[in-house]
Amino acid sequence: MTMPTDPPSRPLDHLALCGAPDAPALLLPGGAMDYAALETGVGRLAAWLLERAGGPGERVASWSAKTRLACLMPLAAARAGLIHVPVNPLLKAPQVLHILEDSGARLLITNGARADTLGALRPAACAVEELAAAEAAIDSDAPGLPPSDAVPDDLAAILYTSGSTGRPKGVMLSHANLWLGAESVASYLEIARDDRVLAVLPFAFDYGQNQLLSSWYAGAAVAPLDYLTPRDVVKAVAKHRATTLAGVPPLWVQLVESDWPADAAAHLKRLTNSGGALTPALIDAMRATFPAADIYPMYGLTEAFRSTYLAPKFVAHHPTSMGRAIPHAEILVCRADGTITADEEPGELVHCGPLVAKGYWGDEARTAERFRPAPRVSTYGGTAVWSGDTVRRDANHLLYFVGRDDAMIKTAGNRVSPTEIEDAAAASGLVHESVAFGVPDARLGAAIILIVRGREGTDREALAAHLRQVLPNFMQPQHIEWRDTLPRNPNGKLDRAAIAADWQKEVTA
């Protein structure tokens, strides 16, 4: 069997060396940061991190908005031989505490207000440093670390993603995973040095972090943006003359409904989507709003970064397709016995190749479930990610999503665990039991429904208030329904399918 010849990867921090020294790398509110300053800043921050983390291999977490520090952390931690744990700024204290404890983070960089929400429950072994101190290190005259000599298999980051059994699990990503992911996206999107990428997605997501990494691989500029309204995105596109924008379906719905000055919309050359499927109607609206832009629908999973993309030339006639494998990925559609399905026969999507992550941090059991030997027909062999997603392949080798084996809810571009919502409801002390599930929603992709059997005399508003305190906005149920009894299956367990079906009957009656 002939192995594929993927390009060699380099240490992740070498991305700071890819652009012309005097070309802009970051477009920040205070002005542009060129590649020479990026390289210097990464070295200084790396030295500062290493001194405070205690030595190579330690985990360092960052929990902030899209500051300059947040942008430099992936490269600086890698240069110091540390493992970066980015934390979604939308998360609340219970989720953040789990990530810090599970990863064994030795250092958390955040602001005082966020740190205060963790209170005395913060792990004793995890020191906290202020964002301002890290920013000062970037601007200091202290000597920085030189480019690293990390090997491709060295661990560079742990990204936490919701798990079907409850709390988030940490996906371990190597230098090679992240470097080749950056190279892959930069190549099929054809990002060039004169491009300007508006980064609106959270850096704690692989899709969001890749906005930085693929742009720097191509020597392009990135404008990080924390937005409150779609109008903020419109203004930023116009201000930075952005050529590239990545989004999720709910954001695209808002953007096509916004008022776009013709010259601002005309700047955009490419639009990418993941985190949920685009409908044909939404694609038509995007074409009308951004007539000069190519549209790239994509499918990915954190365990293998990204798997497929649909080339723009196919979008008009195959709008519901997931496309084909991205560079450096081998995507197979398999039966349960590992053999390859026939055209139009549904099967499990299996991702092989160098983008496959190294497993789940500290969780051998769940790693063994998802990361298994590649099918015999794989040209890569080794370990593959068995996605749990059912897809089909047509005669043109285009893939189409059929369904998901687990109960994960895909809402507003986020994967949400029903169990995590149910655990939060149980922790309130207000309910005996509960079931969370997703239902189709035109704007969110899926809306979260929570059905509960409450304790006698419970203040129903108190449950909603509790969930607002402990769960981020994207995990909040759109509807909470109270029941005196909940149906059970023959094994005595809650009959989730029946509960969801009963709710659907009620709303359609």
**Residue 414 maps to which CATH number?**
3.30.300.30
Residue 290 lies in a domain: no
Model pTM score: 0.87
pLDDT at residue 15, rounded to an integer = 98
Specify the 3-state DSSP secondary structure of 462. helix
Of 150, 174, 206, which one is at a domain's C-terminal end?
150
Of 150, 179, 199, which one is at a domain's C-terminal end?
150
pLDDT at residue 166, rounded to an integer = 61
pLDDT at residue 1, rounded to an integer = 52
d(CA 374, CA 382): 6
d(CA 109, CA 4): 40
Residue 90 lies in a domain: yes
Residue 448 lies in a domain: yes
**Residue 95 maps to which CATH number?**
3.40.50.980
- The token duo for 242 is 């952005």
User: 417: which DSSP letter?
Assistant: -
User: 241: which DSSP letter?
Assistant: T
User: 106: which DSSP letter?
Assistant: S
The CA-based dihedral angle spanning residues 145, 149, 154, 156, taken in that order and rounded to the nearest 10 degrees: 30
Of 150, 180, 195, which one is at a domain's C-terminal end?
150
Residue 92 lies in a domain: yes
d(CA 169, CA 265): 38
- For the chain, the domain total comes to 2
pLDDT at residue 106, rounded to an integer = 97
Residue 170 lies in a domain: no
Q: Please, which contacts does 48-52 make with residues 24 or more away whose CB atoms are closer than 8 Å?
A: 48/134, 48/137, 48/142, 49/76, 49/77, 49/80, 49/82, 49/107, 50/80, 50/81, 50/82, 50/145, 52/107, 52/127, 52/129
Range of the domain at 414: 409-508
Q: How far is CA 168 from CA 160, 402, 408, 418, 509, in A?
A: 6, 25, 12, 12, 36
Residue 88 lies in a domain: yes
164, 410 contact by CB (below 8 A) = no
100, 108 contact by CB (below 8 A) = yes
pLDDT tens for each residue of the chain, 509 residues long:
556 778 889 999 999 999 999 999 999 999 999 999 999 999 999 999 999 998 999 999 999 999 999 999 999 999 999 999 999 999 999 999 999 999 999 999 999 999 999 988 899 899 999 999 999 999 999 999 999 999 999 999 999 987 655 678 999 999 999 999 999 999 999 999 999 999 999 999 999 999 999 999 999 999 999 999 999 999 999 999 999 999 998 899 899 999 999 899 999 999 999 988 888 989 999 999 999 999 999 999 899 999 999 999 999 999 999 999 999 999 999 999 999 999 999 999 999 999 999 999 999 999 999 999 999 999 999 999 999 999 999 999 999 998 776 677 888 888 888 888 988 898 898 988 889 999 988 888 899 999 998 888 888 899 999 999 999 999 999 999 999 888 876 656 678 888 988 888 888 76
d(CA 350, CA 372): 10
Residue 443 lies in a domain: yes
Give the number of C-alpha atoms closer than 13 A to the C-alpha of residue 275, restricted to the C-beta side.
Answer: 24
pLDDT at residue 491, rounded to an integer = 58
Nearest C-alpha neighbor of 55 from the set 28, 33, 83, 34: 83
Question: Which backbone phi and psi does 421 adopt, to 5 degrees?
Answer: -70, -45
Residue 357 lies in a domain: no
pLDDT at residue 74, rounded to an integer = 98
pLDDT digits (tens, 9 = 90+) for 69-119: 999 999 999 999 999 999 999 999 999 999 999 999 999 999 999 999 998
